[in-house]
Amino acid sequence: MAKKATARKPAAKKKPAAKKSAARKGKKLLTKADVMRKCKQLSNWGKWGPNDELGVLNYITPEDIANAAKLVQKGKVFRLGLNLDENGPQNGLFGGRWNPMHQMLATGTDAVQGIQDPIAGMRYADDAINLPTQAASQWDALSHVFTDDKMWNGYDATLVDVRGAHKNGIEKFADKMVGRGVLLDVARYKGKERLADGYEITIKDLEATAKKQGVEVRRGDFVIFNTGQMADCLDKGDWGGYGGGDAPGLGFETVDWIHEKQISGICSDTWGIEVRPNKSVPGLNQPWHWVTIPHIGIVHGEIWYLRELVEDCAEDGVYEFFLCAPPLVITRGTGSPINPQAIK
């Protein structure tokens, strides 16, 4: 079970990651022109036709799914979703997101007082939940991020309006998020319980981690990497600036690796997958996202709970598994809360 960060002190709000000497000395900060060049270079627009709304999920074949199912050897299931409750990581640093709010609509105390008897003719409990779709463990839809005025496959950003995403909605993934999962435990490879905030994971790190683990990243895989950041927050009982603050994560160069490997999903235990502070000029936020979602067409799995999976993979040396992680079928949604299941 995920260790709940209960009885925690209200965290002092950190400011959103600043561009401190965000880049290490001597390293050029990314500009918008740099990012736009990479978007053009790696764009998959039109690869699966002008009407596509799945992006690189198209790489997964029925044979891939059947082979992934054969990875189940122990019958051991790992939940990769956080509890949906008030103890989550949201702190208002980004987008005004809040933690899930759970409200009871009917209770056992109502029942024993007989309040329901004349109304419903039965005694029951009922409840509701209020949350942003990206409050906890979640998928981003391909309508979540725009590059200027365009989203995945060249669709206009204006197709996401007050009623939601009329193109690239999360409901398009309703029967797609299943296949071979691969864990890359970068923190363990680097000899750390937790990578430091601002640590930029490189292509070399990803390749060396896979080699050390004896696992091959293949076309159509869902790749999950562990930084140890979430486990550290849970152990401390304090999320701090997790939700939008500084974090270890993928460096901008990894967009080339993602494109070359033709993977179908990229996931992590952090809030936003890419390194924060970003190594970019002021005003250019989350540049890695600009390329990956709108142009490569890859879905992001963020805020994933990995503790038990990480421990089991280290114990048995098996870093591949069957992954089943369907979104809620939210019509025109730009994301969805999930509880992914890794099965070994």
Q: What are the pLDDT digits (tens) for 217-234?
A: 999 999 999 999 999 999
Peptide bond into 327 cis (omega under 30): no
**What are 213's two structure tokens?**
């683990």
CA separation for the pair 203, 252 (Å, rounded): 10
The pTM for the full model equals 0.91
CA 307 from centroid of its chain's CA atoms = 15
CA separation for the pair 246, 251 (Å, rounded): 13
DSSP bridge partners of 160: 165
Helices (H) then strands (E): counts for the chain: 10, 15
State whether residue 117 is helix, strand or coil: helix
Sequence-separated (6 or more) residues with CB below 8 Å from residue 129: 84, 100, 101, 102, 103
**What are 154's two structure tokens?**
């060249």
CA separation for the pair 105, 110 (Å, rounded): 10
Point out the least confidently predicted range of 32-36, 90-94, 165-169, 190-194.
Answer: 90-94
pLDDT over 70 (residue 26):
no
CA separation for the pair 134, 10 (Å, rounded): 21
For 275, phi then psi, to 5°, come to -65, 140
Sequence-separated (6 or more) residues with CB below 8 Å from residue 112: 123
For 211, phi then psi, to 5°, come to -65, -45
For 126, phi then psi, to 5°, come to -150, 155
pLDDT over 60 (residue 47):
yes
Mean pLDDT value of segment 31-45: 97
**What are 224's two structure tokens?**
């999950």
Rg (CA), the chain: 21
DSSP bridge partners of 106: 126
At residue 92, the pLDDT reads 82
**What are 303's two structure tokens?**
């805020």
CA separation for the pair 223, 217 (Å, rounded): 8
At residue 10, the pLDDT reads 42
Is the pLDDT higher at 53 or at 25?
A: 53
State whether residue 125 is helix, strand or coil: coil
**What are 314's two structure tokens?**
């280290």
pLDDT (tens digit, 9 = 90+) per residue, 133-158? Answer: 999 999 999 999 999 999 999 999 99
Q: Decide if 274 contacts 291 (C-beta within 8 A).
A: no
Point out the least confidently predicted range of 13-17, 30-34, 282-286, 337-341.
Answer: 13-17
CA separation for the pair 229, 239 (Å, rounded): 10
Is the pLDDT higher at 172 or at 122?
A: 172
Q: How many CB atoms lie within 10 A of CB 2?
A: 18
Sequence-separated (6 or more) residues with CB below 8 Å from residue 155: 167, 168
Mean pLDDT value of segment 98-118: 93
pLDDT (tens digit, 9 = 90+) per residue, 175-212? Answer: 999 999 999 999 999 999 999 999 999 999 999 999 99
State whether residue 218 is helix, strand or coil: coil
Q: Decide if 186 contacts 273 (C-beta within 8 A).
A: no
Mean pLDDT, the chain, rounded, equals 93
> Binning pLDDT at 50, 70 and 90, where does residue 25 land?
low
CA separation for the pair 273, 303 (Å, rounded): 8
Bridge pairing between strands 178-184 and 126-130 = unpaired
For 7-35, b/e burial (b = at least 16 CB within 10 A) is eeeebeebeebebeebbeeeeebbeeebb
Name the percent of the chain lying above pLDDT 70: 92
Delineate the domains of the chain, giving CATH numbers in brackets.
Answer: 32-97+133-343 (3.50.30.50), 100-131 (no CATH)
